Structure 1
């Protein structure tokens, strides 16, 4: 059985689509790869993908390209002894940020990842909704080291459907980069802690049954497809596909 799951964000301006085969049923017209028990590495990749996916959905629903992408760094003398200490530092700084947002009558949305590098350095990557003076608010709130900030759209991790930045924001000790020769480099993170503010519920998806698996997806009228990702689910052995449709602006042609 082929299914299509649609997540609608920002009132339907963005539609995230997942098409996949239910592993409990056959898949007419689609050859199935040999089913295998997932390895430990595959399970780690699936867990990482699910975490990045939920992060991306929150970005699509609550954030915009002009919002703030920041990093809080530590001076060596202020480095925390452990993750519990880093969490306390983050919470203290965010109380200050939240207070400033409240003064201005603004709601605060945030996503963050606290990371400790393999050489012992700590830093916090942070995405916050922009209210006009967010960079200065973040800088004043953080007293443990430096503050670096940029608009999401101006960072090297920006793409239209937030895939790159969601993967970046959910890095952990299993994340590796590819070298120029194609080999995998060693992880640069020894420990991480990902979280987001609680005021960001996600809309329930709409699920439809499809008659067959189409070779290529077609966008709805008035939309265009920004990104397509395809692969094989290692658990079911069937193909899956994800793509994002974005509503055309007035005056744009299809």
Structure 2
């Protein structure tokens, strides 16, 4: 079976993110390849959610730092939008103000957001945005529909070095459920969600190569430490996959 590897280099090589996986198009040596079964809707939903979180995490690694801002714009009851289209217009209006203020100061704005409606009808917008010194003041003045809550990414409960938790949280939608203590799935907490990013954040292309064998445990490159290792099973192919993030020592 072919084993493939994709290597991404972020922040000019200060962060290296690696994906290793078995190519589901090939069977084991000497075994005739079986016709791939059509994935179920639930399986495809899981794959799409994982891909969305992966792209989000890559943008976080490339464009954001732990000192950037994790914010939430809330709606007061009387200002709740009637639908997602109205909520999107509210967000766009606020971001026009933010972009104008960033431009005045000579900065470009980078953002990732998720507009969410809870199952009880309340709306809010989660926002990740680059810090330029007075970002907190800018986003407070930009939002006129309710309150503004903010902190540094590194001080939030969703922070970890490779941004896995934050990417998973901000890309959640109406199909996302939390696992209960007994291991059973809980109920969705969102009625609707709309995820988006600013358009000025292209992602680097990965280096692709093939591995001779699946190593029991990856080792960090010289001068780097292993920040995170994650292994799982692809719900469509049924094969193992692994990703790990290495960070250069003394990264600025």
Match of 1:249 in 2: 250
Q: Distance in 2 between matches of 1:192 and 1:125?
A: 11
Q: Distance in 1 between matches of 2:102 and 2:87?
A: 22
Q: Distance in 1 between matches of 2:233 and 2:186?
A: 24
CA-CA distance at 1:178 after TM superposition:
2.1
Are the counterparts in 1 of residues 46 and 235 from structure 2 also a CA contact under 8 Å? no
Are the counterparts in 2 of residues 6 and 18 from structure 1 also a CA contact under 8 Å? yes
Are the counterparts in 1 of residues 74 and 148 from structure 2 also a CA contact under 8 Å? yes
Moved over 4 A (4+): none
Alignment of 1:185-224 (within 5 A): 185-224=186-225
1:182/1:23 Cα in 2 relative to 1: closer, same or farther (>3 Å)?
A: closer
Match of 2:25 in 1: 24
Residue 91 (str. 1) matches residue 99 (str. 2): no
Q: Distance in 2 between matches of 1:23 and 1:122?
A: 41
Match of 2:163 in 1: 162
- Aligned CA-pair RMSD: 1.6
Q: Which structure 2 segments of 5+ residues have no match?
A: none
Alignment of 1:46-65 (within 5 A): 46-65=47-66
Are the counterparts in 2 of residues 21 and 27 from structure 1 also a CA contact under 8 Å? no
Tell me the secondary structure at the aligned position of residue 175 of structure 1: coil
Match of 2:71 in 1: 70
Moved more, 172-181 or 200-209: 172-181
TM-score, reference length from structure 1: 0.93
Tell me the secondary structure at the aligned position of residue 172 of structure 1: coil
Are the counterparts in 1 of residues 47 and 235 from structure 2 also a CA contact under 8 Å? no
Per-residue CA shift, 1:102-155, capped at 9, x if unaligned? 000001000000001111110000000000111110000000000000000000
Tell me the secondary structure at the aligned position of residue 11 of structure 1: coil
How many residues align? The count is: 246
Are the counterparts in 1 of residues 44 and 236 from structure 2 also a CA contact under 8 Å? no
Q: Distance in 1 between matches of 2:237 and 2:182?
A: 32
